């Protein structure tokens, strides 16, 4: 029923406009006639838009829809009937405008009645899907069908009557007769077949006074709320671009040396793209933020208008029109979704009513004005002295619309972006693959996060203890932690990932291992690291994200980008302020680790595995040298401790003097903690050479 009604609506728009243009022969007059009929359809939306919903609530919805469809049947049928009684083109155009005004007035009452009826026909859980289907049908499938019907009628009429057939059998006349019958069929379907549409009568229900005042409040809300203002302007911009394409299509087809069939083809392809964008958009973009999707959709639609402005062949123009529709459809769907989720319930209805009214007005207005402008502008010859060429006025108009639309999309994207700091292209690609990037959760400014990384036996635990003791001596709150197993839940996970399986027992698979490490890290960060940072403590962790990238990514040869995304998601994007990498040849490190007793699962891996891990750590450090301090783990323990403390000194400038004091007796601190007599200090790391191995 909705599809048949939408077909009649769009076919009526197309047929009535071409019917009016056919009554005159001058190209400028044709443009005015074509655009004037469409302009008339704006007036009811401007006048009745704020109050049309009252009629739908006051009367029985089923009765309202039936009466409205019968009226549309009568007035659409009257347009071609008028041509049978007079040949005065001006009089016919005038009656077409009057009938169009009445039809649009009736449609403004029919539409809210239809929207209010949908919940009576479907379970609540399926309303969102039903709305998506309704948008795809109204703005995608039925406009395409209308264009195809018009093309088919042209072929049939020419085939039956020839080019000089009777006036009543002109293609636009036949289309209008056919269109009138669609509304008669819709009225019969609603009256006899869908009694549930009636719903509850609203008579006797208390109504809020001051309808006009409520509308002005809604207008103020839209204009003063940044998010809603960006959404509304973006949606209007997308539909304005589509309207310019529709309005200029007839004359644009001529500039491509094509005829009326090309005009109908461009019209159909544009709305085919609109339907594709609405129906398939969510699957195309995957988990991309709806705010980013909205802005990018507008940019796509407007950028495609620029393709049309530059196209020299019909095939390129068809592709551009398709992309315009896809972008506009995705912008409309994502915009309405955001309005539903972001606007408070007491304002949501007025916001949606404003958008629905505004999109109709913008679409019709841009179609009307653009057709008048290009009809008056015509085609101009430009003489370069050595070559003459013709430029249609459609090209500059499309170019201006495209540029303004791209700027509107960029403005909306910048204003609404909910992932500031996250690379846009990487986020789009990740979202399409189901792995969207997340913005980093803010870390308390007063906290300091230091991580120690390295292969087996590199001495991380020793250096963690030395640094913690040195910082405690200067009065800092220090939290020492490690991965995996720093929490009770982490202890259980640590057993799964590090304990060697008994003979015949099943070993953890690489992907499961990566997920378990991510689970431990997510809980560790949420329960230990972030709370400590929020109170200003220095958090020192033995291993963090880089260990997963090295061990599960390089060691287990899992896709590093997937492991990286998983870790970023688990930690909320939390990055350490400093990563101390203790680099050691794997054979020497494994020998050290072997002296401690039984090796765990990772220590038991092959030498090749640990070599891959080592070089993965070094690659990570070289890619971000400002955050890494790479030290040769074969250096004496006290020298390593002093080099680390020297680097930390520059991260907490307010404690530089206190740390300088500790640096003088770093060897004594190391001796006290390890119980070993240490060798003399070697050269310390140059703090200006942050990524250099010492």
**Exposed, middle or buried, 300 (CB in 10 Å: 0-12/13-18/19+)?**
buried
Q: Rounded to an integer, what distance in angstroms lies between the CA atom of residue 187 and that of residue 67? A: 8
Yes or no: say if 5 and 183 are a contact pair by the CB < 8 Å rule. yes
Residue 691's Cβ-side half-sphere holds a number of Cα atoms within 13 Å equal to 11
55 C-beta neighbours (distance < 10 Å), count: 17
Yes or no: say if 642 and 684 are a contact pair by the CB < 8 Å rule. yes
Q: Rounded to an integer, what distance in angstroms lies between the CA atom of residue 332 and that of residue 237? A: 10
Q: Rounded to an integer, what distance in angstroms lies between the CA atom of residue 551 and that of residue 108? A: 64
Closest CA relative to residue 180, chosen from 103, 260, 257, 239? 103
Q: Rounded to an integer, what distance in angstroms lies between the CA atom of residue 657 and that of residue 488? A: 39
| Known binding positions for ATP | 454-461
With tokens 């400590």, the residue in question is 532
Residues near 236 by Cβ (< 8 Å), separated by ≥ 6? 358, 359, 362
Q: Rounded to an integer, what distance in angstroms lies between the CA atom of residue 273 and that of residue 341? A: 25
Q: Where on the phi/psi map is residue 203: left (φ > 0), alpha (ψ -120 to 50), or beta?
A: beta
Q: Rounded to an integer, what distance in angstroms lies between the CA atom of residue 430 and that of residue 39? A: 44
**Cis bond leading into 353, ω under 30°?**
no
Q: Rounded to an integer, what distance in angstroms lies between the CA atom of residue 174 and that of residue 151? A: 12
273 C-beta neighbours (distance < 10 Å), count: 28
Q: To the nearest 10°, the Cα dihedral for 39, 41, 44, 49?
A: -100
Q: Rounded to an integer, what distance in angstroms lies between the CA atom of residue 558 and that of residue 509? A: 11
Give the DSSP per-residue string, 301-354.
HHHHHHHHHH--SHHHHHHHHHHHHHHHHHHHHHHHHHHHHHS-HHHHHHHHHH
Dihedral sign for Cα atoms in the order 372, 378, 384, 385: negative
How many whole angstroms from its chain centre is CA 453? Answer: 37
How many whole angstroms from its chain centre is CA 87? Answer: 53
Using alpha carbons, list the distances in angstroms from residue 180 to 16, 20, 72, 73, 513: 11, 17, 7, 4, 66
With tokens 């009649």, the residue in question is 8
304 C-beta neighbours (distance < 10 Å), count: 27
Closest CA relative to residue 298, chosen from 259, 278, 268, 324? 324
How many whole angstroms from its chain centre is CA 649? Answer: 44
Element (H, E) at 499: none
Two tokens, residue 474: 């200067």
Q: What separation, in Å, do the N-terminal and C-terminal C-alpha atoms of the chain show?
A: 77
Two tokens, residue 586: 């794997």
**Rg, C-alpha atoms of the chain:** 35
- DSSP E strand boundaries for 596-693: 628-632
């Amino acid at each position: 029923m909705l599809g048949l009604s939408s077909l009649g609506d769009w076919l009526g728009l197309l047929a009535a406009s071409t019917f009016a243009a056919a009554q005159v022969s001058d190209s400028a007059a044709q443009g005015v006639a074509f655009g004037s009929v469409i302009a008339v359809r704006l007036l009811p939306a401007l006048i009745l838009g704020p109050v049309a919903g009252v009629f739908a609530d006051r009367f029985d919805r089923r009765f309202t829809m039936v009466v409205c469809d019968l009226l549309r049947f009568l007035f659409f049928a009257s347009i071609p009937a008028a041509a049978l009684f007079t040949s005065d083109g001006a009089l016919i155009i005038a009656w077409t405008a009057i009938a169009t005004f009445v039809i649009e007035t009736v449609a403004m009452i029919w539409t809210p009645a239809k929207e209010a009826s949908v919940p009576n026909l479907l379970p609540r859980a399926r309303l969102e899907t039903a709305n998506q289907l309704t948008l795809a049908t109204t703005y995608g499938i039925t406009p395409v069908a209308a264009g195809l019907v018009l093309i088919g009628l042209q072929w049939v009429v020419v085939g039956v009557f020839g080019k000089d057939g009777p006036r009543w059998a002109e293609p636009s006349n036949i289309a209008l007769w056919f269109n009138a019958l669609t509304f008669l069929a819709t009225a019969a379907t609603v009256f006899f077949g869908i009694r549930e549409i009636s719903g509850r009568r609203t008579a006797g229900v208390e109504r809020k006074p001051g309808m006009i005042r409520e509308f002005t409040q809604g207008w103020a809300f839209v204009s003063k709320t940044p998010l809603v203002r960006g959404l509304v302007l973006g949606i209007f911009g997308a539909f304005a671009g589509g309207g310019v394409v529709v309005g200029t299509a007839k004359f644009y087809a001529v500039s491509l040396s094509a005829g009326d069939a090309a005009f109908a083809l461009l019209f159909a392809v544009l709305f085919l793209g609109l339907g594709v964008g609405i129906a398939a958009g969510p699957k195309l973009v995957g988990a991309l933020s709806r705010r980013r999707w909205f802005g990018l959709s507008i940019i796509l639609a407007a950028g495609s208008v620029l393709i049309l402005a530059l196209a020299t062949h019909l095939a390129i123009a068809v592709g551009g029109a398709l992309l315009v529709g896809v972008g506009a459809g995705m912008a409309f769907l994502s915009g309405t979704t955001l309005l539903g989720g972001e606007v408070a319930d007491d304002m949501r209805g007025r916001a949606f009513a404003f958008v629905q009214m505004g999109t109709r007005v913008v679409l019709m207005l841009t179609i009307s004005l653009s057709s008048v402008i290009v009809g008056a502008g015509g085609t101009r010859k430009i003489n370069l002295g050595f070559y003459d060429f013709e430029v249609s006025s459609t090209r500059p108009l499309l170019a201006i619309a495209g540029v303004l639309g791209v700027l509107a999309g960029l403005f909306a994207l910048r204003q609404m972006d909910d992932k500031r700091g996250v690379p846009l292209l990487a986020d789009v690609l990740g979202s399409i693959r189901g792995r969207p990037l997340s913005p980093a959760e803010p870390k308390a400014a007063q906290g300091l996060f230091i991580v120690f990384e390295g292969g087996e036996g590199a001495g991380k635990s020793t250096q963690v203890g030395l640094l913690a003791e040195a910082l405690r001596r200067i009065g800092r709150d220090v939290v020492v932690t490690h991965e995996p197993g720093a929490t009770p839940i982490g202890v259980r996970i640590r057993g799964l990932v590090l304990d060697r399986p008994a003979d015949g027992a099943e070993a953890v698979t690489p992907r499961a291992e990566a997920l378990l490490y991510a689970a431990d890290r997510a809980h560790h960060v949420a329960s230990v690291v972030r709370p400590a940072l929020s109170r200003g403590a220095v958090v020192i962790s033995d291993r963090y994200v880089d260990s997963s990238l090295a061990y599960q990514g390089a060691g287990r040869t899992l896709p590093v980008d997937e492991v990286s995304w998983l870790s970023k998601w688990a930690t909320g994007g939390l990055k350490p302020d400093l990563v101390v990498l203790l680099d050691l040849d794997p054979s020497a490190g494994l020998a050290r680790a072997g002296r401690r007793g039984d090796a765990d699962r990772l220590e038991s891996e092959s030498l090749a595995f640990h070599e891959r891990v080592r070089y993965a750590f070094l690659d990570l450090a070289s890619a971000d040298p400002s955050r890494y301090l790479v030290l040769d783990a074969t250096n004496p323990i006290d020298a390593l401790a002093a080099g680390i403390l020297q680097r930390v000194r520059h991260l907490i400038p307010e404690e530089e003097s206190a740390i300088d004091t500790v640096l003088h007796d770093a060897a004594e601190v190391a001796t006290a903690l390890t119980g070993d007599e240490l060798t003399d200090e070697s050269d310390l790391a140059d703090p200006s050479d942050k990524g250099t191995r010492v």
